[in-house]
Amino acid sequence: MPLKINKINAIPLALSLVLGTTFMTPAIAQDTLILADAYIDVAKGKSVNDAAIIVSDNQIIKVTTAANITNKADYNLVDLKGKTLVPGVMDMHVHLSGDAEDNFLESMNYSVPRQTVKAVKNAQKTLLAGFTTVRDLGASGYSVIATRDGIDAGEIPGPRIWAVGHAIGITGGHCDDNFPAPEAHAKAQGVADGPWEVRTKVRENIKYGANAIKVCATGGVFSKGTQVGAQQMTYEELKSAVDEAHLRGLVIAAHAHGTSGIKDAIRAGIDSIEHCSFMDDEAINMALKAGTYLSCDIYNTEYTLAFGAANGVPEANINKEKQVSQAQRDSFRKAVKAGAKMVFGSDAAIYPHGDNGKQFSRMVTFGMTPIQALQAATVNSAALLKQDNVGQIKAGFLADIIAVDGNPLDNISLMENVTFVMKDGVVYKKQ
């Protein structure tokens, strides 16, 4: 896909080779002026008309109106008439190294190099969909950590990535490899039993580059031999993971469908609960009191139920999806109504990467306003990651800016077709 840059040396030659694009380098670096019909002030929850954004290198240096700009010729002009600007959005639950379209069981035998190639491909698709920051919650062989490092080095295009390395869980649990026969002695690389083994796995992930941590507190939909809501990790195991992650300054997520696992994860100090399928009022109140973020992937069930069988997903797993789909959406609605902290987490790889934006409309259908859905994917996600320079179109913030045709506060489905993408001051897409 064509790629445009607007800064000297903004992207090295290696990136142009990846994308098959030739770049023209300007003789003199100019600041960039972006003009659009409006921008979304996500912090204040409103649309501001007649937007003019000035970007220098990778940073927003001024947010004003076009009427206040008298010297447009002094800038590299990006005219987005008819469009609304939105901060680059964030997905707090993806798996870049997997593809939903691949045969479910065959894909489990992909080598780590093969998975890394997948991650490189899907990182680009995710970025071009407008997601400039993601959190990858589990991949084999540190494949996504390698992809992240390649992006940070300017060698390949992709979003800013927080990657956990291997998801940590118990023997035979959701994050173990339970599909092969016993004589294969298969064991996932994140398996740990007991508090000190769990703590060791957290340290191992950090040793090899993880900048976030994930544990699997309960059974799950796409594993073999687990009950989707049953608790698997004990409170003591969860607490040891939290203590080690927080000691090292990392945010920690817990895969948790079932009520008891959700509650123990909150008690242990987990920063975000993933899936949240079976939450009672007590669990929601606990999350409110603790300030725990909730991440509910309420779009992907549609893809699984429509295409899972054709993609080779076993019937037992599809039946588990049927158990959680409505319950998860009911829990989402209750949590929104209660005022819980919510982030955007889609579980991309369970549905095709690049379709992340389809979840916005479901979040509105099941209780959020359009601005709440956008806040979940911007300021709330930035707060979860403890980042104070992303998630807003604001002076001093990183220049992560996307655009859609029309205003997403009037029609949130517009977020499914992002027509302009800038990350770190570099334009990756312009239609």
- Spatial contact of 78 and 34, defined as CB atoms under 8 Å apart: yes
179-205 pLDDT, tens digit each: 888 988 888 899 999 999 999 999 999
Q: What is the pLDDT of residue 186?
A: 84
**Residue 42 counted as domain residue:** yes
Q: What mean pLDDT comes out for the span 354-373?
A: 98
pLDDT over 60 at 17, yes or no: no
Between 2-6, 156-160, 219-223, 385-389, the lowest mean confidence (pLDDT) is in 2-6
Question: Looking at the structure, do residues 404 and 324 belong to the same domain, yes or no?
Answer: no
Distances from the Cα of 298 to the Cα of 19, 123, 274, angstroms: 33, 21, 11
Q: 313 in a domain, yes or no?
A: yes
- Look at residue 6 and tell me whether its pLDDT is greater than 60: no
Average pLDDT over residues 64-72: 93
| Residue 426 pLDDT exceeds 80 | yes
Q: Given a cut of 60, is residue 8 above it in pLDDT? A: no
What's residue 10's pLDDT?
A: 43
Percent of the chain at pLDDT > 90 equals 90
Do 101 and 200 reside in the same domain of the chain?
yes
Q: How many domains does the chain have?
A: 2
Q: Does 315 score more than 60 pLDDT? A: yes
Q: Write down the mean pLDDT value for the chain.
A: 93
Q: Are 394 and 94 in contact (CB under 8 A)?
A: no
Evaluate whether 89 touches 379 at the Cβ level (below 8 Å): no
**Whether residue 201 is found in the same domain as residue 110:** yes
If asked whether residues 190 and 140 sit together in one domain, one would say yes
Average pLDDT estimate for 411-418: 98
| pLDDT value of position 180 | 84
- Residue 197 lies inside a defined structural domain of this protein: yes
Whether residue 147 is predicted with pLDDT greater than 80 in this model: the reply is yes
Domain assignment present for residue 148? The answer is: yes
Q: Within this chain, do residues 61 and 205 fall inside the same structural domain, yes or no?
A: no
Are 137 and 249 within one domain?
yes
Cα–Cα dist 5/422, whole Å: 9
Give residue 354's region: left, alpha or beta (phi > 0; psi -120 to 50): left
- Do 226 and 345 belong to one domain? yes
| CA 199 – CA 195 distance, rounded (Å) | 6
pLDDT, one tens digit per residue, over 114-142 is: 999 999 999 999 999 999 999 999 999 99
- Provide the residue range defining the domain that includes 401: 32-87+394-430
Query: Would you say residue 299 has pLDDT above 80?
Result: yes
Give the CATH number for residue 380: 3.20.20.140
pLDDT of residue 342: 98
**Per-residue confidence (pLDDT) for residue 65, from 0 to 100:** 95
What angle, rounded to 10 degrees, do the helices at 143-152 and 112-128 form?
A: 50
pLDDT at 28: 58
Mean pLDDT of the region 410-426: 98
Please give the average per-residue pLDDT across 329-352, as a whole number.
98
Give the tens place of pLDDT for each residue, 73-97: 999 999 999 999 999 999 999 999 9
Helices 281-290 & 259-268, crossing angle to 10 degrees? 20
* Domain identity same for 320 and 376: yes
